[in-house]
Amino acid sequence: MPKIAIQATGLVKWFGEGEAKTTALNDVSLEAQFGEMVYVVGPSGSGKTTLLSVLTGILKPNAGKVLLEGTDIWGLDSDQLADFRLGKIGFVFQDYHLFPRLTTAENAAIPLILRRRPWNEALQEAEKYLDVVGLKSRANLPPVKLSGGEQQRVAIARAMSSQPDILIMDEPTASLDGDTGVAILSFVQKNVLNQDRCIIVVTHDDRIYPFATRILNMEDGRLKGSELKGSEKGTS
C-alpha cells in the first residue's frame, strides 16, 4: 500500500489586517503519496507559492496542519524544523539559485556541506549526482559557462545530493525554452521520481502536464475541481 508523504488539512494563510487583509490559502487540504509527481497549477496570485512555502516549513499557516511523513512540522521548534527540512526536503527553484563564484560541483555539494560532510567527500558525492544528470564532465565549470537547461540540471543534482524524500520544484521550466523544459521534466520523471520519493511541482507550463501523476488546480486560495491524470490534462 502506498505510503503518504504529505498530508495537509485545513490550511489557512492570510497577510495583512483589516481592509488590507488578503487570504492566500482558504481551507486547503491535500494528500500526496510516495511515488507520485503531483502538479499544482493555476493563475498567478492563486496561492500556489504560498502553499509550497507552508508545506515545506518556510511560512507558518494561521490555521491547519502539515504532516510530512507523519511528522507535524509546525509542532517542531525552529532548530528541529531546520534539521528536518535539510534532511527530508529538496528544492529546485525556477531561477536555479546557483552561486556564480562556485563550480558546478561545489554548487551541487551545498546541501552536503550544510550537513557538515567533509569538503572533499561532499564534492565526490555531488559529482555522482552530476553524473546522473549528465554533467560530470562540467563539474569544474562555473554556472556562467552552462546553458539554462544545464543550470537547471545542476539545481536538480543539488536537490538530489541530500537524497530527499520530498522534492519541491517551483516553476522549474519558467526560464527555459519549451523543448528544454519538456526534456528536464522527462528526465525527472524517469530518473528522479521513484517509489521512495514524492515530487511536488508548481507550474504554468501545460507542455509538461503529461509527466504528472496528478494535477491539482488552484484558484483564489483554494484547490478547485477534481484531480486529473497528467496525460488527460495534457491532451485536453
Domain ranges of the chain: 4-234
Question: Would you identify the CATH topology of the domain 4-234?
Answer: Rossmann fold (3.40.50)
3-state helix, strand, coil in the chain (%, to 5): 40, 30, 30
Asked if 83 contacts 117 with a C-beta cutoff of 8 angstroms, the reply is no
Distance CA 68, CA 85 (A): 10
Could you list the pLDDT tens digit for every one of the 236 residues in the chain?
Answer: 679 999 999 999 999 998 899 999 999 999 999 999 999 999 888 999 999 999 999 999 999 999 999 999 999 999 999 999 988 999 988 788 899 999 999 999 999 998 889 999 999 999 998 998 889 999 999 999 999 989 988 999 998 888 899 999 998 888 888 888 899 899 899 989 999 999 999 998 999 999 999 999 999 999 985 555 544 444 33
Distance CA 135, CA 215 (A): 30
Asked if 39 contacts 32 with a C-beta cutoff of 8 angstroms, the reply is no
